[in-house]
Amino acid sequence: MAKISQILSILSFLISASMLGGSYYAFRFVTSEQFKARVMNEVLDNVQGMMPKILDNALPDMTGGTIPEYIQSKK
């Protein structure tokens, strides 16, 4: 029974250590400048691909007149 608990404690330590190392690596990767640049490039590529379609659908073919100026009434 003691041998089983020792093996389980060693496995528990290895799992905890690997989780700690993986978390540290993931944190360093997510906060790196390269990750930020990669995400920004991906977002900009997607937005630039959508912009012509959105602008074509959103802009009217013809607009109305200008806003009239306020004319004071004569009293």
Helix and strand element counts for the chain (H, E): 2, 0
Which of 21, 52, 22, 47 has its CA nearest to residue 39? 47
pLDDT tens, position by position, 13-45: 999 999 999 999 999 999 999 999 999 999 888
Q: Which residue has the higher pLDDT, 57 or 10?
A: 10
Does this model's pTM top 0.85? My answer is no
User: Residue 52: which pLDDT band, with cuts at 50, 70 and 90?
Assistant: low
Measured distance CA(44)–CA(38) in Å, rounded: 10
What does the pLDDT read at residue 75?
A: 64
What does the pLDDT read at residue 60?
A: 64
